Structure 1
Amino acid sequence: MYFISPTRGKLSLDETYRNIVEFVNEAPDLEHRLIVGSDSQTREEDVCFVTAVIIYREGKGGKFFYRKEYEKINQSIRQRLFYETSKSLELASELTRRLSKDDSFRGKLSIEIHLDVGRQGETRELIKEVVGMVVGSGYDARIKPDSYGASKVADKYTK
């Protein structure tokens, strides 16, 4: 598994994690948020899934990384949305595991999951279920219009 950084290119998960840690350590007294969001786009023969991880320094900007995967599956919008959510949860879980081993980050950096659902459109009926999935896994959930990790960052790279 690898990630793409617009500034650093192709990175392993270890390198991505180190970049996140370095970014936080550049300004350790400022508030940071770690955001994970996924989106997908159906194409003719497959589905493109993008999962983004964003480290955001409150009021000062941030950095993001994304991974892109293609799968030859035929899913309904409901199945795709649950699959996107599970991809975000999988990455968030791995980042949580790594952060919990680092004493300097224990309890300081919360992870938000940004979901590509909103009160408008065909996904509105799924909000309760996917938010419950995220909150039940111990993470904060954001939906549109506040879920830019999925609806803006990840979405940009599904095209």
Structure 2
Amino acid sequence: MKNLQVMNYTFQNSQQSQMTFGQVFEKIVQFMKQDPKGNYRLMVGTDSQVHPKVKGTRFITGIVIQREGKGAWACIRKVTVPRQMTNLHEKISFETTLTEEIVSMFTEDRKNELINIVLPHVYRGATFTMEGHIDIGSGERNKTRHYVREMVARIEAMGIEPKIKPDSYVASSYANRYTK
């Protein structure tokens, strides 16, 4: 059942729509192969917006592969829940769940394929990291601060590095742009 869901996920960016996860993964591979000596960060994060007019909540998950200092390739996945999610914990938890779903598609084999692109160049400074960006902050005035430990633990349990505000820009900036 889970594999069936994975096949039905679609992604898009400004150049292409209706991409499968397999196509997204191939784009990431192609991007990294252009410069295997680069420093790469694969980042996944989700943001959401309640839309009163449509009585729903739009969730956008962004996938960004960044070659530090030399550009990036990115895409998004849209999910709309047909009700207004106004409970902050529920909304943040669902955002984290959607991020976890996409991260789980990067199986060990897929992660190893990406690592193997930079591996021959590691001693010359090439790197690859994977991050989960969570749209929460620990600041005293941030309403989401109560959920930081829980959401960070969930991302860490997936074996990737969690990032929160101000460092979670895939969720808080890139995905946020498409939630409106």
TM-score (norm 1): 0.91
Decide whether the 8 Å contact of 2:64 with 2:170 is kept in 1: yes
Instruction: Give the match for residue 69 of structure 1.
Output: 79
Structure with the bigger percentage of strand? 1
How far apart, CA to CA, are the structure 2 residues paired with 1:94 and 1:106?
A: 20
Q: Which amino acid aligns with 2:57?
A: V
Q: Which amino acid aligns with 1:12?
A: T
Number of residue-to-residue matches in the alignment? 159
**Which one of 141, 158, 174 corresponds to residue 137 of structure 1?**
158
- Aligned pairs (5 A) from 1:1-159: 1-44=9-52, 45-75=55-85, 76-100=87-111, 102=113, 104-105=116-117, 109-120=128-139, 121-159=142-180
Q: Which runs of 5+ in 2 are unaligned?
A: 1-8, 120-126
Detail structure 1 runs of 4+ shifted over 4 Å in the superposition: 105-108
Give the superposition deviation at 1:79.
0.7
Rg larger in 1 or in 2? 2
TM-score (norm 2): 0.81
Give the superposition deviation at 1:137.
2.0
How far apart, CA to CA, are the structure 2 residues paired with 1:140 and 1:132?
A: 10
Q: Which runs of 5+ in 1 are unaligned?
A: none
| Aligned Cα root-mean-square deviation (Å) | 1.9
**Percent of residue pairs bearing the same amino acid type:** 30
Give the superposition deviation at 1:119.
2.4
Decide whether the 8 Å contact of 2:36 with 2:117 is kept in 1: no
SS in 2 for 1:36: strand
